Amino acid sequence: MARHAPSPVRDRADDSLFTLLGDLPELVKNLIRAELGAVKTYVGKLVKHGGWTAIMAVAALFFLFWTIPAFLAFLIILLDLWMPLWASALIVLGIGVVMIVACAAYAYLVHVRAIKRLESPGAAAKADAAIVKEFADEF
């Protein structure tokens, strides 16, 4: 008869108190490693999305304050051939505002929302502590 591989999850109901206490340091060490891994992952994602948000904010500010004056002047002069000067200036201003809104919307909708959806390591640690407390209350 073929023997099956032992399950990675074992029934600890028959273990003695000393066996359980002997396993405690390793279990705590594994928990701390897992929590540190969660913190590293969280910080990595936070830096990634925060960096992209900063880049998009700089791009939005670029278009807000330095909307390539020579190109805009060229567009105003070009549009002035077909319409009054004030109308061509308003159209170029509208293009700049649309670029500002597009960059800011991209930064918010993609990256800021992704940052908000990240589970913080503090919340994960609280959930783990609640599970341990619930388990401890059973005994």
Task: Give 66-99 pLDDT, tens digit per residue.
Answer: 767 878 888 889 988 999 988 999 998 999 899 9
DSSP states of 63-132 as a string?
Answer: HHH---HHHHHHHHHHHHTTS-HHHHHHHHHHHHHHHHHHHHHHIIIIIIHHHHHSPPHHHHHHHHHHHH
Mean pLDDT throughout 126-131?
80
Mean pLDDT throughout 37-54?
89
More confident residue, 84 or 20: 84
Which two three-digit tokens encode residue 56? 């998009």
